[in-house]
Structure 1
């Protein structure tokens, strides 16, 4: 990708309690597409949903414009949503075959995030970590309404209830956030298996001090050391200057 290159790392783990890993991760730096999908619905349902999402995104090719790229990602997710809803209707009543999704696209110096559910994207820029996504969850709705204080959220009894996901309803609304990228940016995509065990300040400290691979290993280790009640998945994307740009800068320095 002109102007930038990407150092990436991805990890997914079943955790310390669950027997099945229903999370899936995607890392395609060659086209500028990364994703985390956290399946829901139990054995052979959640992993089916998350796998279908990642498989669909794996087949997308780099398109001519950023808008076309984003449109194709959205339409691919909508096709999976329709398939999962139809499949659930053919199963036992009350069957849920769904998955959260958070995806990061980078094209021509800009990023776009799209999501449904409580998997998240964070951006570390200039030493400060900010959450780009906003959870689709009962907890977030209670916080927004003033009925629950953010400090009390980790102790709320239904913290795992999400209000939006791929495969749950006929009509899927995907939220989108976008902006420019810059050298030094660090994006973190993760499932709630990570954020349920580490707070934002802890995550920020890890991302500021380590390479992508080292940070990914450390985040996973801390989560597992704390008991990892859920599957844990994360993708890290470090934005760096392209090799050509680095060579040009070095050449100018030598000639100065």
Structure 2
């Protein structure tokens, strides 16, 4: 998604400054990272999380082109890094994080802790996440704890549990709107109603961020927070400049054209004495020769017998079109027409044959996909049948930088950790075979398992070898 603008700001000690370790804004990946821990431990956990996410996310995305999986694995690795560091130094530290990735008109997102994601669309502000705090997770917490700080304790977050539950969600984006990322501390002073009102009034992300910080300060806020605002569906700045340049050129050209027309019009009027140019009329005077002779002999104008006829002659520079004489058909023409119709009929028969063959290919591909889906579902767990699933892939198959064997080993390890897998395939579209007997297949895939679920579009390249379809890439 290219038509976006964004701004991130970190507020701390009555100052607002940018601190890269508290957020990520790179290549359509955005995140708020809030470290928790005394002294330097919170900052250390935030730095560790940021470095791990940037390394794992784009590496996996490049190899597999699956944003949901990339978010899941990057959060899992970041949790492992923070958790192991916490055990090593024997100190308490954790990270509250919200993360999202924009791809076309879909937002993939996840969160752990009290970092929040809001979506502003159609003049409505929706909170897409729920805080993983004691107050939100335990309905009776307020009765058991008198200290309000205890209610804000994180139940989930990076580094708290060895294997936290990580859920990836998808959210459709309209043509225009904005996404707000922040931490729970901002909402202690700035309400959702405040953010809704500001989202309606202010379009510039940087200006809106400064306004929210000032509002937070005026309401007595003194705790630090990080805020990110992403606007999408806007006209890019470079496009505005290009449009302005072309508009100036257009106005200059139009001024030149109108000036030329005006000068030409005035010049034509001076030459002809008329504002409209019409056909030229020449009067021809035909005089009888006899009358002229009599005039010369007698010298008397009265005796002259003159027959003068004025005949206008209209000069037209355009050539008149002459009627086309009909040509009788010849035997050669008739034979040519018959040959054309015979060739057309043969082409129609060939096209119908191609259509029937293509329908057979589509049916074969659909059966192949259903068998592949069943084999994938049967590959889950320690006793899963991975051999059957991998047999659907060609020896030429590659996934990013991995060949078939490397990919199969990685897939086998991940599928063993799953108790079950369910796949649903819809909207299957098959292209016509190319010169190498390969077809491209596109469809919508709903993947769900015991620890992860995602909906996405998928593209496969299949080849038919020895009467059997195989996957070359996906």
TM over 0.5: yes
Question: Residues of 1 paired with 2:182 and 2:224: CA distance?
Answer: 11
CA contact (8 A) 1:118 1:191 kept: yes
Does residue 1:240 correspond to 2:233, yes or no?
yes
Aligned pair partner of 1:186 in 169, 178, 181: 178
Judged with a 3 Å threshold, the aligned counterparts in structure 2 of structure 1 residues 175 and 197 are, in CA distance, closer, same or farther, namely farther
1:208-238 CA distances to partner (integer Å, 9 max, x unpaired)? 1112111100111122233333211011000
Instruction: Give 1:61's aligned residue.
Output: 58
| 1:243 Cα deviation from its structure 2 partner | 4.6
Instruction: Give 1:74's aligned residue.
Output: 72
Q: CA RMSD in A?
A: 3.0
1:9-59 CA distances to partner (integer Å, 9 max, x unpaired)? 000022459xxx89701112xx21100011111112111111122222334
Does residue 1:111 correspond to 2:111, yes or no?
no
Between 1 and 2, higher relative CO (CA 8 Å, sep ≥ 6) is seen in 1
| 1:188 Cα deviation from its structure 2 partner | 0.2
Instruction: Give 2:352's aligned residue.
Output: none
Question: Partner of 1:163: helix, strand, or coil?
Answer: coil
| 1:97 Cα deviation from its structure 2 partner | 1.9
1:81-110 CA distances to partner (integer Å, 9 max, x unpaired)? 112211111223xx2121100011111220
Aligned pair partner of 1:207 in 199, 216, 224: 199
Does residue 1:33 correspond to 2:25, yes or no?
no
Of residues 228-237 and 54-63 in structure 1, the stretch that sits farther from structure 2 once superposed is 54-63
| 1:202 Cα deviation from its structure 2 partner | 0.8
Aligned pair partner of 1:196 in 188, 199, 223: 188
Question: Residues of 2 paired with 1:71 and 1:223: CA distance?
Answer: 36
Q: Which TM-score applies when normalising by structure 2?
A: 0.45
Judged with a 3 Å threshold, the aligned counterparts in structure 2 of structure 1 residues 85 and 55 are, in CA distance, closer, same or farther, namely same
Question: Partner of 1:124: helix, strand, or coil?
Answer: strand
Does residue 1:5 correspond to 2:32, yes or no?
no
CA contact (8 A) 1:16 1:227 kept: no
Unaligned runs of 5+ in 1: 150-154
Question: Residues of 2 paired with 1:64 and 1:160: CA distance?
Answer: 38
Instruction: Give 1:175's aligned residue.
Output: 167
Question: Partner of 2:196: helix, strand, or coil?
Answer: helix
Question: Residues of 2 paired with 1:173 and 1:234: CA distance?
Answer: 25
Larger radius of gyration: 2
Question: Residues of 2 paired with 1:235 and 1:222: CA distance?
Answer: 16
Aligned length: 233
Question: Residues of 2 paired with 1:67 and 1:164: CA distance?
Answer: 28
Question: Residues of 1 paired with 2:141 and 2:158: CA distance?
Answer: 27
Judged with a 3 Å threshold, the aligned counterparts in structure 2 of structure 1 residues 184 and 15 are, in CA distance, closer, same or farther, namely farther
The 5-angstrom pairing of residues 41-52 of structure 1 reads 41-52=37-48
Question: Residues of 1 paired with 2:153 and 2:185: CA distance?
Answer: 14
Judged with a 3 Å threshold, the aligned counterparts in structure 2 of structure 1 residues 157 and 39 are, in CA distance, closer, same or farther, namely closer
Judged with a 3 Å threshold, the aligned counterparts in structure 2 of structure 1 residues 111 and 206 are, in CA distance, closer, same or farther, namely same
CA contact (8 A) 1:36 1:103 kept: yes
Q: Which TM-score applies when normalising by structure 1?
A: 0.80
Structure with bigger helix share is: 2
